Amino acid sequence: MSAARTAFRPNWPARLGWLLLALYVVYAGSTLGFVPERFATGLDHGRRFLARMFPPNFSRWELIQSGILESIQIAVIATVVGIVIALPVGFLAARNLMPPYVTWPTRGLIALCRSFHPIIVAILFVKAIGFGALAGVMALIVASVGFIAKLFAEAIEEISLKQVEAVRATGAGFLSVLVMGVVPQVLPRFIGFATYQLDSNLRNSTMVGIVGGGGIGATLFTAYQRFDFDVVLAILIVIVAMIMAAEIVSGWARRVFQ
């Protein structure tokens, strides 16, 4: 008697896992009050909402233009200043260059910068330095420092120490070792992070206005609260176009530095 051979035996633990996942979805959905009626009424609202959005209304073009420009300014300044601050912080957090009593506090600082969403940081800065673009810039600087310093430290930890040693063997000082031995190895990846962070800052700079941090977000939120949904759609189209253009530019920059 030969046992029937199944090529793919049922994987009971995995099936149990999927079942638990399904149970969780049902449980969580019910605690959050997801019922079919809400979807049904929502779809009805959605139809009217979409009808009010079309056609997009570009009649306040000057307002949109100045908002977008301010968002771009916020993103550019925050990225550049963020990078300038993140460079030394990243070096201090790299465990192959620095002793542990330096890396641990630096890593804590990076974790603190990363753990709050830029919008929340923007709220605090709006309170501290008032409404306007500067609060948005400061919030995005904090986010940029957290992101770039972390990735930069990781990139430095992956470099080949042979080149560092070779530079050191010529009698170079610490700064020369950094400039000649470390930076050339991490520059291409660094440009990658920087352009990625610029994209990310652009996205967020369109949002900090919701909490008073300047840029197009304030215009967007005002239009939304006035139920001018056609203006909202126009602003969204401009934002998406700007972000896509920025992605093309940053892709070009990454290719140049490959």
Partner 1 sequence: MSVPVSAPVAERSWQRFSPGLRLARFAFYLCTVAAFAVSLRTIEIIPEFLYDAPEQMADLFGRMWPPDANYLGPTLAALVETLHIATLGTLLALAMAVPVGLLAARNLTPSLPLNLLAKFVFVTSRSVNSLVWALLFVAVFGPGPLAGTLAIAFRSIGFTGKLFAEALEESSPGSIEALTAAGAGRLSTLVFGYWPQVKPAFWSIALFRWDINIRESAVLGLVGAGGIGVALDTALNLLYWDQVAVVLAAIFSVVVLAEIVVTLVRNRVL
Residues that bind partner 1 (CB under 8 A): 8, 21, 24-25, 28-29, 31-34, 38-39, 42-43, 45-46, 49, 69-70, 72-74, 76-77, 80, 111, 115-117, 119-120, 123-124, 127-130, 132-134, 137, 203-204, 206-207, 210-211, 214, 220-221, 224, 229, 232, 236, 239-240, 243-244, 253, 256-257
Smaller CB distance to partner 1: residue 111 or 161?
111
Q: How far is the CB of 100 from partner 1 (least distance, A)?
A: 19
Smaller CB distance to partner 1: residue 104 or 257?
257
Q: How far is the CB of 69 from partner 1 (least distance, A)?
A: 8
Cα-to-chain-centroid distance, residue 188: 20
Longest dimension (CA), the chain: 84
Q: How far is the CB of 31 from partner 1 (least distance, A)?
A: 7
Smaller CB distance to partner 1: residue 127 or 173?
127
Q: How far is the CB of 55 from partner 1 (least distance, A)?
A: 17
Smaller CB distance to partner 1: residue 89 or 139?
139
b/e map 157-193, b = 16+ CB within 10 Å: eebeeeebeebbeeebeeeebbebbbeebbeebbbbb
Q: How far is the CB of 187 from partner 1 (least distance, A)?
A: 10
Mind giving me the DSSP string for 47-104? HHHHHHHPSP--TTHHHHHHHHHHHHHHHHHHHHHHHHHHHHHHHHH-TTTS-HHHHH
Q: How far is the CB of 1 from partner 1 (least distance, A)?
A: 26
Indicate the helix (H) or strand (E) that contains 23.
helix 12-31
Smaller CB distance to partner 1: residue 49 or 173?
49
Burial environment of residue 132 by CB neighbours within 10 A (0 to 12, 13 to 18, 19 or more): middle
Distances (CA, A) of 62 to 22, 76, 165: 50, 21, 57
